[in-house]
Amino acid sequence: MSTERKLFCIVVWLGVIANWSFAVWAIFFDPHSLLAFFKLGDVDSTVWLYNYSVLLVILSLFYIPAAHDPFRYCANAWLLIIGRLVPASTFFIGTAVHFMPPGFVTLGIGDSTFGIIELLLLVRIMRARNTAWA
pLDDT in tens, 25-74: 999 999 999 999 999 888 888 899 999 999 999 999 999 999 999 999 99
Percent of the chain with pLDDT over 70: 98
The angle, 0 to 180 degrees and rounded to 10, between the axes of the packed helices 104-133 and 74-96 is 150
Under 8 Å between Cβ of 106 and 94 = no
Whether pTM > 0.85 for this model: the answer is yes
The number of folded domains in the chain is 1
What does the pLDDT read at residue 61? 96
> Which amino acid is residue 118, in one-letter code?
E
Q: Can you give the residue range of the structural domain that contains 45?
A: 3-133
Report the alpha-carbon distance of residue 14 to residue 113 in Å, rounded.
12
Residue 134 has pLDDT above 80, yes or no: no
Report the alpha-carbon distance of residue 60 to residue 80 in Å, rounded.
8
54's CB contacts (< 8 A; 6+ apart) are 23, 27
Q: Can you point out the beta strands (E) in the chain?
A: none
What does the pLDDT read at residue 133? 67
